[in-house]
């Protein structure tokens, strides 16, 4: 069974400090992973897709198949980064409509 683990429920860092949000996955095939961000009581927004290797809002994430990880990083945290962050793994259904398995989320707080 596939699983996504985000070991930190809460992460608090100071403004300007580096941020790393951890995500580990369990999946026997070739994974497809995403990071989503949810600002207070808003809809989830796609932040990153591992296949595109892009940087959004200064965040990057690298897939490490050996360690089965997809950690989210930012070199200098900003106060507006405070939010819930979810790591998600594509569920292959074979029919095209592939749901996502989500981790439980990490609440990131950036202190001034």
Binding site for other proteins (CB under 8 A): 6, 32, 34, 42-46, 49, 86, 88, 90-91, 93, 95-105
- Cβ-based nearer residue to other proteins, 15 or 56: 56
Shortest separation between residue 99's beta carbon and other proteins, angstroms: 4
- Cβ-based nearer residue to other proteins, 87 or 110: 87
Shortest separation between residue 34's beta carbon and other proteins, angstroms: 6
Neighbouring residues of 64: CB distance < 8 A, sequence distance ≥ 6: 70, 71
Provide the pairing of β-strand 45-49 with 10-14: unpaired
* DSSP state at residue 79: G
Region label for 87, one of left (φ > 0), alpha (ψ between -120 and 50) or beta (otherwise): beta
d(CA 13, CA 36): 19
- Cβ-based nearer residue to other proteins, 14 or 43: 43
Shortest separation between residue 9's beta carbon and other proteins, angstroms: 8
């Amino acid at each position: 069974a596939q699983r996504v683990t985000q070991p930190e429920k809460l992460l608090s860092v100071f403004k300007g400090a580096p941020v790393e949000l951890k995500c580990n996955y369990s999946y026997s095939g070739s994974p497809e992973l995403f990071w989503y961000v949810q600002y207070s009581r808003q809809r989830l927004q796609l932040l990153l897709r591992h296949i595109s290797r892009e940087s959004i809002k200064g965040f990057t994430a690298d897939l490490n198949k050996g360690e089965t990880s997809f950690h989210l990083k930012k070199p200098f945290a900003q106060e507006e980064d405070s939010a819930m962050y979810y790591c998600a793994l594509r569920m292959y259904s074979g029919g095209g409509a592939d749901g996502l398995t989500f981790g439980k989320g990490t609440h990131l707080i950036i202190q001034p």
